[in-house]
A and B are shown apart, each in its own frame.
Chain A
């Protein structure tokens, strides 16, 4: 149908406009993608009084959801692809310490806020995940843009992200089994059991079968290569979903399976464009299903989260820098860098929105809070990194003043 193609084109044009503005402002593209989706949705553009314009509003349709789903799958696939257990074990002590510190401060911070709001433990646990996980995509991009990648502060930042990524894989597995399975405690237990069993099979396949993963891609032709890689990823992720296991986590482990093969660089080179395209649609889709008129109702929660979880990340980031033996100045940078939240918080929110257990808190309030929170934190985090000099001077001056006394 011609209309669908036109609508897809319209969506892509909106994304291009969003990306252009983001680059122009020196910001990450993620919040701008989300806002572009929000602007184009029936709640905003659809309510414009001027009929010819409101006709261009994009309805949430199955095909957009499908493309967004592919965005999630590819985001996690790449996370797995770039994740290496060897790397984790190589510097396991430092990564373990800074990662554990990050976890025991930031996750409970979100959980406690949730409980303080009178939410159930499950709802609070979802909120904890949303505020815990920093944005690998935005932070890594900023590291490269600012040239910090060549400095020592890159070590603790990327190390902590590796820890978070591994944790979030298990977190998502448990969360989606609980939220999407629904029902009695017994059913939930079975769902979690199935999820863990399936993941165990996948992990064993990854561990023992890396040779087969490699051979599967040993094909002379370029089209076959891309087709095979995408086919196995989408097939396994889709199958996982049919048995109630998180597709994102399945994709993560498939990516991990390929990370040990000789094809790592080819996969990165050829599939990154796919990931970037589908991920953009994912962020658009998040915006598309968000009615901005809900923000006033949750603004208080968002402000509270920002006020509490910005300092906690600054603190744990700073201490991670110290664990890596960095000086005050560079440790402050690590703190500034870790503030950004992004894609994973939104993935958690998307799972919550589809939850069959719990009530309106999970399906309405949590997603709205997450979108608002990510919009603030991604801009705030990127800005902190750009102007980290101010924080550095503040901390270093205070420290030297303290020693002078």
Chain B
């Protein structure tokens, strides 16, 4: 998903989200807090869908996010790559035995059968971590492996459930 953000001097900000090849969703956020939503087909003019006050926009945004109702069981954030491998976001708890150890010491890949694609922490994302990388509490590991391999990482990381949607948002 690509989001284009641009400034509108004196008005606010504009976000353009490509829904598919033809259709773009345009969100204009006014400095006054008003939101306007437009739909644009190819080169055509944008057609205004509706406008929302700041308050309504936040409320509706929360509904869309799934805060009140999760349509399907998405207690783990995962992406199926094919039938038996998946990409999963796993949070490391403070009490986890992984904390403070390097990937080399842990022999992570041979122990779990999964590889860490990248590690998200407060200061940024470390892609492709090497054997000298130290795992810290509150890291979010993005792990690639079979379902069983991912379960093993989850139990080592000390979280029964993987992190919910908030980790994935950073990525978009």
B1-39: CB near A (< 8 Å → 1, else 0) gives 000001111110010000000000010101111001010
With an 8 Å Cβ cutoff, the count of chain A residues facing the other chain is: 26
Taking a contact as CB atoms under 8 Å apart, the answer to whether B45 and A158 are in contact is: no
Q: Is A140 interfacial (CB-CB < 8 Å)?
A: yes
Q: Could you say which of A83, A87, A150, A155 has the most chain B C-beta atoms within 10 Å of its C-beta?
A: A150
Instruction: Tell me if A299 counts as interface (CB < 8 A to partner B).
Output: no
In the bound assembly, the distance between CA atoms of A199 and B157 in angstroms comes to 59
Please, how many angstroms separate the alpha-carbon atoms of A167 and B18 in the complex?
36
- Asked if B11 and A158 make an inter-chain contact with CB atoms under 8 angstroms apart, the answer reads yes
Chain A's closest residue to B39 (CB) is: A150
**Which residues of chain B are within 8 angstroms of A155 by Cβ–Cβ distance?**
6
Residue in B14, B31, B32, B47 whose beta carbon sits within 8 Å of that of A149 in the complex: B14
* Chain B residues whose CB sits within 8 angstroms of the CB of A397 once the complex forms: none
Least CB distance from B159 to A in Å reads 35
Q: Is the CB of A150 within 8 A of B32?
A: no
Interchain CB contact under 8 A, A83 and B40: no
- Smallest beta-carbon distance A399→chain B, Å: 15
User: Is B46 part of the contact surface with A, judged by Cβ < 8 Å?
Assistant: yes
- B46 touching A151, Cβ below 8 Å: yes
30 CB-based A-B contacts, threshold 8 Å: A82-B31, A84-B7, A87-B7, A87-B9, A140-B10, A140-B11, A143-B11, A144-B11, A144-B30, A147-B36, A147-B38, A147-B46, A147-B47, A149-B8, A150-B28, A150-B38, A150-B40, A150-B46, A150-B48, A151-B40, A158-B9, A161-B9, A161-B10, A264-B31, A265-B31, A265-B33, A268-B32, A269-B33, A272-B32, A327-B43
Chain A residue nearest to B30 in the complex (CB) = A144
A268 touches B31 (CB 8 A): yes
CB < 8 Å neighbour of B26 from A83, A84, A150, A162 = A150
Kindly count the residue-residue contacts between A and B in the assembled complex, taking CB atoms under 8 Å apart: 59
Q: Is A331 interfacial (CB 8 A cutoff)?
A: no
Contact B10 A136 (CB under 8 A): yes
> Complex Cα distance A144/B11, Å?
9
15 extra interface residue pairs, beta carbon distance < 8 Å, beyond A151-B45, A161-B9, A268-B31: A82-B9, A84-B7, A87-B9, A140-B11, A144-B30, A147-B38, A147-B45, A149-B8, A149-B11, A150-B26, A151-B40, A158-B9, A158-B11, A265-B31, A269-B31
Assess whether A269 is in contact with B14, with CB atoms less than 8 Å apart. Answer: no
Residues in A with CB closer than 8 Å to B26 are 150
Residue in B closest to A83 when the chains form the complex, CB atoms: B9
List, in ascending order, chain B residues with CB within 8 A of A269's CB.
31-33
CA distance A265 to B29 in the complex (A): 12
Give the 5 A-B residue pairs with the shortest CB-CB distance, closest first. A150-B46, A150-B38, A150-B26, A82-B10, A268-B31
Min CB gap B108→A, angstroms: 42
Residues of B near A111 (CB, < 8 A) are none
Q: Which residue of B lies closest to A139 (CB)?
A: B10
Partner of B8, one of A90, A154, A268: A154
Report B-chain residues with C-beta under 8 Å of the C-beta of A83.
9
How far does the Cβ of A100 sit from chain B's closest Cβ, in whole Å? 18
B residues less than 8 Å from A143 (CB atoms): 11
**B14: which of A84, A150, A272 is its contact (CB, 8 Å)?**
A150
Q: Which residues of A contact B10 (CB under 8 A)?
A: 78, 82, 136, 140, 158, 161
In the complex, what's the smallest C-beta–C-beta distance from B168 to chain A, in angstroms?
A: 27
Contacts of A264 in B (CB 8 A): 31
Inside 8 A of B11's CB, which chain A residues have their CB?
140, 143-144, 149, 158
In the complex, residue of chain B having the shortest beta-carbon distance to the beta carbon of A140: B10
- In the assembly, what is the distance between CA of A161 and CA of B47, in Å? 25
Residue from B31, B33, B36, B43 in contact with A150 in the complex, judged by beta carbons closer than 8 Å: B36
Q: How far is the CB of B17 from chain A (nearest CB, A)?
A: 12
Docked complex Cα distance between A149 and B6 (Å): 11
In the complex formed, the residue of A with least CB distance to B26 is A150
Which of A140, A151, A159, A265 has its CB near the most chain B CB atoms (within 10 A)? A151
Q: How far is the CA of A82 from the CA of B7 in the complex (A)?
A: 11
Distance to closest chain B CB from A187 (angstroms)? 37
Q: Which residues of B contact A84 (CB under 8 A)?
A: 7, 9
Q: How far is the CB of B97 from chain A (nearest CB, A)?
A: 42
Report yes or no: A147 in contact with B48, Cβ–Cβ below 8 A: yes
Write the nearest CB–CB distance from B150 to chain A, whole angstroms.
Answer: 41
CA distance A90 to B8 in the complex (A): 13
Contacts of B48 in A (CB 8 A): 147, 150
User: For A159, what are the chain B residues with a Cβ–Cβ distance below 8 Å?
Assistant: 9
List B99-126 residues whose CB lies under 8 Å from chain A: none
Nearest B residue to A90 by beta-carbon distance? B7
Chain B residues positioned under 8 Å from A265 (CB to CB) = 31, 33
B41-63 residues at the A interface, CB under 8 angstroms: 43, 45-48
Which A residues are CB-close (under 8 A) to B6?
155
Within 8 A of B (CB), among A260-285: 264-265, 268-269, 272
Rounded to whole angstroms, the CA-CA distance of A45 and B45 in the bound complex is 46
| Bound form: Cα–Cα A159–B7 in Å | 10
Assess the B32–A158 pair: CB atoms within 8 A: no
Chain B residues within 8 Å of A158, by CB: 8-11
What residue in chain A is nearest B40 (Cβ atoms)?
A: A150
Q: Taking the nearest CB of chain A, how far is it from the CB of B23, in angstroms?
A: 13
Q: Which residues, 79 to 132 on A, are CB-close (under 8 Å) to B?
A: 82-84, 87, 90
